[in-house]
Amino acid sequence: MAAQTTVEAIRKKYQMQNQEKKTAATSLKPKVRMYTDGACSGNPGPGGWGVVLLWKEHQIELNGGEPATTNNRMEMRAVIEGLKRLKKSCEVTIFSDSALIINAFQKNWIGGWQKRGWLKADKKPVENKDLWLQMLDEMQRHSVSWVKVKGHSGVEFNERADRLAVEASKKV
């Protein structure tokens, strides 16, 4: 019995040390705030995406568009392109007004989709699987947290991401 207790104590100590190492490593990562938005004129139709990346005193703005797309695809593309732009592993807080994206991660819908072979609870295929896979791939090198913001509610950088997305949608 004493040997088992000793083994358990060693295992717990090892787990705590590993957690402390992970916490220390995470705290060394640059902390980036990323505001994303998508826009689409018609659904489908010409669309655009916009991203505002904030790190310390730096602000980087990105946008792009596609001639025939949907709003959800543009919302997803914004997240993907923002994560791609980060040159090294970061602690990223993503601010989005997309309920689909936020719920996919905060409510772990994406875990359910993966377990069901990319089928939703109603057994229909998940739309935009290609972009979900790209997003998951880009997320692997970062520590990501998600924050839902209300669209068009005066959140400065979310409003800027929206303007970038609309501008891009008009150029395609």
**Which residues does the annotation mark as catalytic?**
37-38, 75, 97, 152, 162
Integer Cα distance of 85 and 12 in angstroms:
38
Measuring CA to CA, how many Å separate 82 from each of 42, 62, 93, 121? 24, 8, 11, 29
Backbone region of residue 107 per phi and psi (left: phi > 0; alpha: psi in -120 to 50; beta: other values): alpha
Backbone region of residue 145 per phi and psi (left: phi > 0; alpha: psi in -120 to 50; beta: other values): beta
